[in-house]
Amino acid sequence: MTKLLIVDDDRMNCDLLQDLFSRQGYDVILATSGEEGLDLFRTSNPKVTLLDLRMPGMDGLTLLKEIRAIDPHAAVIILGGGATDVHENQARALRATDFIRKGLSLDILVEAVNRNSKLPSPSIATQSPCLDGEMGQQSRETVLVVDDEPLVCDLLVKFLNLRGYYALGVRNGQDALRLVDEIRPDAILVDMIMPGMAGIDVLRTLREKEYPGGIIIMTGSHNEELLGEAWGLGPHELLVKPVDLDRLLMVIQLVLVCREC
């Protein structure tokens, strides 16, 4: 049976999830604190781990950091009750496999667990080289999405995560630049026209900072002067909204390949 570790300080939630996933055929292991969850992760080697974001003592993000130090490839799903975009971005930066807001349909949670339980364990050949005796982080590219339209931002983040990238979303230029300094994403997908700091100003600042990653501009504008100014700042690609998702994937792949070259 596939082992599933559930870490939640609410005993009722633990019992309900245990009943749900036991019926799905999982061998469910429960912990009601981050410290207990860390001990069980070490001794039980679960295929998938569910972590509550908010717990007293060792919270979900702290526990995720500890798990990543043990196993950079472990499938870890964060359950974010009352979570903000900042919490989700922090979890994504720590390579959370999925981030699910509490209150969503249980079908979404079950699908996420089932999907991750079927993923093959990474082979030694696909792991990053060891540094200072520790295993390197899994080499999956991080993509930062910057768009002030919440629906567009959320849909692009979910789409890219489902396609194997670690995608994070922010809705203004200032937050984007702060995250770039913190996590150094491999590529940035930024809307050109936003209130406050526009995407073209984000691009200009990134060029001043000599940001080495890929930059893709999205725009619904057909203003030739504005488009010419954007191209003059040297983005890797400019996509017209509504963005064709197949083309977006191809562009991201090309940008990442060119970045490596």
Q: What pLDDT digit, counting tens, does each position of 204-239 carry?
A: 899 898 888 889 999 887 788 888 888 888 888 888
Q: Which residues contact 85 (CB under 8 A, 6 or more apart)?
A: 169, 170, 171
139: confidence class by pLDDT, cuts 50, 70, 90: very low
Confirm whether 3-126 and 142-260 share one CATH topology.
yes
CATH pick for 142-260 out of 1.10.1040.10, 1.10.287.3510, 3.40.50.2300, 3.30.750.200: 3.40.50.2300
Q: Quick one: pLDDT at residue 135?
A: 35
6: confidence class by pLDDT, cuts 50, 70, 90: very high
Model confidence, pTM = 0.53
260: confidence class by pLDDT, cuts 50, 70, 90: low
What mean pLDDT, rounded, does the chain reach? Answer: 84
Peptide bond into 242 cis (omega under 30): yes
Bridge partners of 239? 218
Rounded (10°) CA dihedral 126, 108, 20, 18: 50
Q: Quick one: pLDDT at residue 21?
A: 93
Residue 141: C-alpha distances to residues 95, 99, 138, 197 (Å): 10, 17, 9, 26
Q: Quick one: pLDDT at residue 73?
A: 82
126 vs 247, residue with greater confidence = 247
Mean pLDDT of 118-131: 47
- pLDDT at residue 26 tops 90: yes
- For the chain, the maximum distance between any two Cα atoms, rounded to a whole number of angstroms, is 61
Q: Quick one: pLDDT at residue 125?
A: 34
Domain spans in the chain, listed from the N-terminal domain onward: 3-126, 142-260
Q: What is the CATH number that goes with domain 3-126?
A: 3.40.50.2300
Mean pLDDT of 26-32: 95
3-class secondary structure, 155: helix
Q: Quick one: pLDDT at residue 124?
A: 34
97 vs 9, residue with greater confidence = 9
Mean pLDDT of 254-259: 76
The percentage of residues in the chain with a pLDDT greater than 90, rounded to a whole number, is: 32
The percentage of residues in the chain with a pLDDT greater than 70, rounded to a whole number, is: 89
